[in-house]
Amino acid sequence: MSSFEQGGPAVPAATSAGPAPAWASHRTPSADRPERVTVAVYAADPVLRLGVVQQLRQRPEIDLLADADAERAEVSLVVVDQVDDDVAALLHRLRHNTATRTGLVVATLGSGSLQRVIECGVAAVLRRAEADQDQLLRLVLAIANGEGVLPGDLLGKLLSHVGSLQRSALDPRGLSLSTLTTREADMLRMVSEGLDTAEIARKTSYSERTVKNILHEVITRLQLRNRAHAVGYALRNGLI
């Protein structure tokens, strides 16, 4: 059984019977200041946890919580190398805690993992290489304010993925949001690359007459003037 697959509450408290669990949080001793954001830090690697805790405990805006209080944190920060099944299980548990919003500080995150963490309710992502004190503070404050934060390249991947899902949901047979079939979009893409009717026919194994009819149908249906106009329309609407 991995250190993440533990029974009981999502955030077990440390006891005198043994060391604190791998996923642990810390509190900076200080007087109660309600305006501060309460934060719990989780990391399987104690070195990673210590690095983030040391960065945040220096900030007066942050109130780092002890293990016993971690479930009432406004913000939960999960610090990992990558998203595996154990990390996903923790993120799912945190998602069910309505008192907290979750941020992820991660070394590497592919497009598949990005979808996974979004499904787990993660509100914001920061790459570990960029996780200095100022960036961590901005991340925590953004999460506490109900904002979502993603690195620019990951946001682009997410938007592309969402767009693909929308097109599939609209018509599994291949209709896009702007009423182009996959075949029509492919032909317009070839037109944009400078191919003529005969070349498109050879690449698609259609007759030249069929290629002309398909392109004519697109131009007529979308009330466009010619092939160049159709290519421009498709490019502006992100269809090719």
Q: Could you report the per-residue pLDDT of 165-176, keeping only the tens digit for each? A: 444 444 444 444
Query: What pLDDT is recorded for position 160?
Result: 55
Q: What is the mean pLDDT of the chain?
A: 78
Establish how many alpha carbons lie within 13 A of residue 217's alpha carbon, considering only the half-sphere containing its beta carbon.
13
Query: What pLDDT is recorded for position 6?
Result: 31
pLDDT tens track for 51-104: 999 999 999 999 999 888 999 999 999 999 998 889 989 999 999 998 999 999
- Amino acid making up residue 75: V
Beta strands, E only, the chain: 37-43, 62-64, 75-80, 101-106, 122-127
* Burial grade of 180 (CB within 10 A; 0-12, 13-18, 19 or more): buried
- Rounded to the nearest 10 degrees, the angle between the axes of helix 227-236 and helix 182-192 is 110
Closest to 231 in 3D by CA, of 200, 190, 176: 190
* Burial grade of 54 (CB within 10 A; 0-12, 13-18, 19 or more): exposed
201 token code pair:
């026919």
- Rounded to the nearest 10 degrees, the angle between the axes of helix 208-221 and helix 197-204 is 110
Query: What pLDDT is recorded for position 233?
Result: 84
User: Exposure string (b/e) for 129-164, b if CB count within 10 Å is 16 or more?
Assistant: eebeeeebbebbbbbbeeeebbeeebeebbeeeeee
Query: What pLDDT is recorded for position 17?
Result: 42
Name the pTM for this structure.
0.54
Query: What pLDDT is recorded for position 30?
Result: 43
**Sign (positive/negative) of CA torsion 62, 85, 19, 131?**
negative
Residues of the chain with confidence (pLDDT) below 50: 1-2, 4-33, 163, 165-177
